[in-house]
Amino acid sequence: MAAKPKLFVLNKLPEAVEARFKRDYDVRLNPDDKTYTEAEIVALSQGMDGIVTSPTTAVKAAVIEGLDKSVRIIATFSVGFDHVELAAAGARGITVTNTPEVLTDATADMTMLLLLAGARRAYEGQKILRENRWIGWRPTQLIGIGCQGKRLGIYGMGRIGQAVARRAKPFGFDLHYHDQNPLPPAKTEGAIFHADVEEMLPFCDYLTIHCPLTPETRKFLNAKRIAKLPKGAVVVNTARGPVIDDEALIAALESGHVAAAGLDVFEGEPKLHPGYLGLDNAYLLPHLGSATLDTRNAMGFRALDNLDAFFKGQAPRDRVA
């Protein structure tokens, strides 16, 4: 009987996912969810056939260049793969896979939660209740922003952007979107396409971001672009933290040019810009977009499916490098 491939899993994963890893592979797990240093990743990968990572644990060039020559695949437990240095992996002949599609609905649901919570001042409401400062219903208390007849701009109309459009349409939004190319009308819920994102921004009473993190999208939402949003706009981000210029958004939230923000991702996670913490009009969550049990299990099984195919000599379904 052939020996099972050896895998090093860098993060603790859901129970059902780890059970399948233990069944099908000779696996080194991380039961305590330890944060490994680059040197530890290199050392503990000796003799391994592959490693499994996530956005929590970056696998950059220095790590990849130090990996044992036995390592032939890196599977990331995520749809995004900016935390893995693809060029370095390619130079070493290491295959890289991700887990797209399975987290679309959970992330789109979270987008709507952030959109509504930010616009309807949910954090402020929670605060006055928890601090025992509520004096009862008042006609002018915590008046927020509605959805009906408002314009929602979607930056990035991939799977998640389309899922957000499907959810937002029944709320009464007029939809707009920007992507590299227009999509078939059946996929856009009647949203208006803008070839130039700069031209879309003035139509965004709400702006939700669903682009990948690339050199071109890093700090996409800067002061210049924020100024093009209508005064009192709402900004939502469930994509990647670095697509927003934190200093610029914080300044806009403080001035009121942006009325509210709903943010699930941040540059420098798990740390975030401290300027957000004192803002009552910023609704903040700790990267929970895909955090349902069904979704996280599906992500793990998708990663395993890719690994299974690779070690059988087949092309992984979700190869990105």
Task: Catalogue all structural domains in the chain, each as residue range(s) with its CATH number.
Answer: 6-102+293-311 (3.40.50.720), 104-284 (3.40.50.720)
Region at 212 (left for phi over 0; alpha for psi -120 to 50; beta for the rest): beta
pTM of the shown model: 0.95
Determine phi and psi for 189, rounding to 5 degrees: 55, 30
Write the pLDDT tens digit of every residue in 267-319: 999 999 999 999 999 999 999 999 999 999 999 999 999 999 999 999 999 99
Q: What is the pLDDT of residue 2?
A: 81
Q: How far is Cα 311 from Cα 159, in angstroms, rounded to an integer?
A: 29
Length of the chain measured in residues: 321
Q: Which residue from 207, 130, 217 is spatially nearest to 173, judged by alpha carbons?
A: 207
Quick check: 51 and 59 in contact, CB under 8 A? Answer: yes
pLDDT-derived band at 162, boundaries 50, 70, 90: very high
Q: How far is Cα 162 from Cα 187, in angstroms, rounded to an integer?
A: 7
| Strand order across the beta sheet in which 73-76 lies | 26-28, 6-9, 50-53, 73-76, 95-97
DSSP character at residue 194: -
Q: What is the pLDDT of residue 32?
A: 97
Catalytic residue numbers read 240, 269, 287
